[in-house]
Every structure is written in structure tokens, then in C-alpha cells.
Amino acid sequence: MRKLILVAVLIWSMHAQGSTCHQVGGTISTNFTNSNTTLGSATGDLRGGIGVDVLSVNPNPNGTVTFHNEHHWVTESGDAIWLAPANAVAFPTGISGLFAASYSDGVAVTGGTGRFAHARGKIYAWGAVDTGKNEVVLRYEGSVCTAEQDGD
């Protein structure tokens, strides 16, 4: 059993040495292009284009609404960031059609292309959704670990 644990620790440490983790942050501004899709831009560390497909909308007994979303993110250098589907919760405000929104459980980074090949991490976001104007504005932050490449 000790040998198995030692081998597992050695493999993990070799893998951990081959990646670099970075704190990331910025903003996202998108518009609904139809009732289930947004398209817009991201600023900051992961600047580029971002889109969201709303896969399902579920009202909750407490008055909030959960949106199960699939994300599409391409950085300005053309690298894709692959993200697992995730839930955003919208909280009603006192203004009709205006919601506070949060990805409180985050969005998992599952890989990508270019420098994001084999990337892992989690990105959290919070902000506002205006259904009257079909606009979404979010602040994102989190950590993304990328594989070291020649020249890193």
C-alpha cells in the first residue's frame, strides 16, 4: 500500500510541476441575440469573445431563477477555452426585468486550444441581467492552470 501511495504522489508531483496557475479577472458584456443565446466580449486576462447558450431555465421556490448555461469563449489570440456547463442564479431586484446574477459555484475550465490545451481551473462571476434591454454585465475572477510549453 505504501508503494502505491508513493507512486501516486510522484505522478501527481510530476504533473503539478508541468503546469502554471494564474489568477484571472475581468469583465463580460453580452447581449441576448435571441431568448436563449448571448454574444459579447470579455476584457481583462481572458479578453476576447464570449457567448452563452441557455440550456434550461428553472424558477426556484424562493423567487430566484436558475439558468443552466453552456459557454463558448475565444481569446483575442484565437485560443478557445472549454468550459463545463454551469448554473447562474438570478436574483430579482425591485426593478422589473433587472436581476442580480451569480455563478456562485463557478464555471469549470476543462481544456481548450493553444495555450489552454489541457487547462484546468474555475472561474466565478457576478453581475446584472437586464431582460428589458437584453443585456448582461458580469465581473469574473478565478484561477486557470495551463500546461507549461516550450519557452514558458
> Could you read off the pLDDT of 40-75 as tens digits, one per residue?
999 999 999 999 999 999 999 999 999 999 999 999
Residue 77: Cβ within 10 Å count: 9
Residue 144 to residue 78: CA distance in whole angstroms: 17
Give the CATH class of 20-147: mainly beta
Residue 15 to residue 12: CA distance in whole angstroms: 5
Residues paired with 37 in a beta bridge: 34, 53
Residue with cell 477555452: 81
SS (H, E, C) 68-114: EEEEEEEECCCCEEEECCEEEEEEECCCCCEEEEECCCCEEEEEECH
> What is the reported pTM?
0.84
Q: Residue 2 — very low, low, confident or very high, per pLDDT cuts 50/70/90?
A: low
Residue 75 to residue 120: CA distance in whole angstroms: 16
Mean pLDDT across the chain = 90
The answer to whether 107 and 121 have CB atoms below 8 angstroms apart is no
Task: Quote the pLDDT of residue 18.
Answer: 67
% the chain with pLDDT above 70: 86
Q: Residue 13 — very low, low, confident or very high, per pLDDT cuts 50/70/90?
A: very low
